[in-house]
Structure 1
Amino acid sequence: MSMHDFLYFHIAFIFLSPSGRYWAEISDTIISGTFRQWKEGSTKSETYYPGDTIVHAVGEATSVQWSAGTWMVEYGRGFIPSTLGFALADTIFSTQDFLTLFYTVRVYVKGMILEASTFLTDTGVL
């Protein structure tokens, strides 16, 4: 994960959730299992299968559901810090695992400092 993009693999149990609304374009490519999505303002869902790629545009919010055993690759590009509030909300309000929250934020901040330093060095500012 960086300031402008991220990539991760995902395994899910049966799970239903809002997607969040971000300043990043996020795409999900299904490897196995199914992915179901309800677009904002609609009660009709679309189901996606292995090999399908779903693109969530900047500012778009949906409801999503993964079937048990779903594997997918998720790639996001844009202002990634805008995704952190939603991503860390469960840690803060549900599990209250503040030690993991501390380590997660610490690693992310270190990464941001390294990325900013590299950018400033490459552009000749430092």
Structure 2
Amino acid sequence: MRTFTFLVTLVALLTGFYRFFDSRLEQFYIFDPSHLHDLSQRAIAAHGDDTRAIVNYIVTELEEKTPGTHLNHDEEWVFNNAGGAMGAMYIIHASITEYLIIFGTAIGTEGHTGRHTADDYFNILQGTQLAYAPGSYEPEVYPQGSVHHLQRGVVKQYKMPESCFALEYARGWIPPMLFFGYADTFSSTLDFPTLWATTRITGREMISNLLKGKM
């Protein structure tokens, strides 16, 4: 009986905690989806199909305009396997309520988007992304310069037929998304060095930002 009472109390406390902070998430964000889309388009206009120069342009402006020291200045690329798709990512920012990464592949990939606890904004820097939602008979097409907004809780199939890179921004509850990002390691790839690298970088950035008062 005591155990049941404890569990009920714990669930009530966690639910209250979630609802309180979920309604106030906006106050923790330091990035703006409209600015990131505009920045991506300006970077493309300045550098065309030179993806490395586009990424450098984006990171340089973010370093100038982001408050405090909330960015990862080391371009640490790691593989990412999630939902059956494979690519690589460079983590620019990671905190409890936001992440900002460069994600992509030079040879194409396809998979499941995941059903997430955050809104995801996929700004196409190079190439094209296709997406499909159940019930549709036509693909969603996102070319260079466009943004694919995957709303929190929505799931799709996606494909990058050939080389494609994007500035990906997620805002919401980020930690639950890590389970999706880790699952393929245990179910298929068994690539534990990559898992460790991802955990080390993500954990370091999240803890660093927490210590700076950034949720």
Fold shared per TM-score above 0.5: yes
Take 2:144 and 2:194, find their aligned partners in 1: how far apart are those partners? Answer: 32
Segments of structure 1 that go 5 or more residues without pairing to the other structure are: 121-126
User: Is residue 2:96 matched to residue 1:3?
Assistant: yes
| More helix by percentage | 2
Give 1:124's aligned residue: none
Q: For residue 199 of structure 2, what is the amino acid of its counterpart?
A: V
Give 1:123's aligned residue: none
| More strand by percentage | 1
Deviations 1:14-42 (A, max 9, x none): 21111001111111111221110112443
Change (3 A) 1:6 1:39: same
Take 2:155 and 2:204, find their aligned partners in 1: how far apart are those partners? Answer: 29
What TM-score comes out, normalization by structure 2 length? 0.50
Give 1:46's aligned residue: 140
Pick from 189, 199, 211: which aligns with 1:95?
189
Q: Is the 8 A contact 2:121 2:170 kept in 1?
A: yes
Deviates more, 1:7-16 or 1:71-80: 7-16
Equivalence map 1:1-126=2 (5 Å)? 1-12=94-105, 13-119=107-213
Give 2:5's aligned residue: none
Take 2:176 and 2:184, find their aligned partners in 1: how far apart are those partners? Answer: 16
Q: Is the 8 A contact 1:40 1:61 kept in 2?
A: no
- How many angstroms does 1:72 deviate by? 1.4
Deviates more, 1:38-47 or 1:12-21: 38-47
Change (3 A) 1:89 1:43: farther
Q: For residue 32 of structure 1, what is the amino acid of its counterpart?
A: Q
Instruction: Tell me the percent identity.
Output: 29
- How many angstroms does 1:115 deviate by? 2.9
Take 2:182 and 2:210, find their aligned partners in 1: how far apart are those partners? Answer: 22
Segments of structure 2 that go 5 or more residues without pairing to the other structure are: 1-93
SS of 2:212's partner is: helix
Larger Rg: 2
Deviates more, 1:62-71 or 1:43-52: 43-52
Take 1:70 and 1:80, find their aligned partners in 2: how far apart are those partners? Answer: 24
Root-mean-square deviation (Å): 2.0
SS of 2:116's partner is: coil
Q: Is the 8 A contact 2:115 2:155 kept in 1?
A: yes
Q: How many residues align?
A: 120
- How many angstroms does 1:88 deviate by? 1.5
What TM-score comes out, normalization by structure 1 length? 0.81
Take 1:108 and 1:49, find their aligned partners in 2: how far apart are those partners? Answer: 29
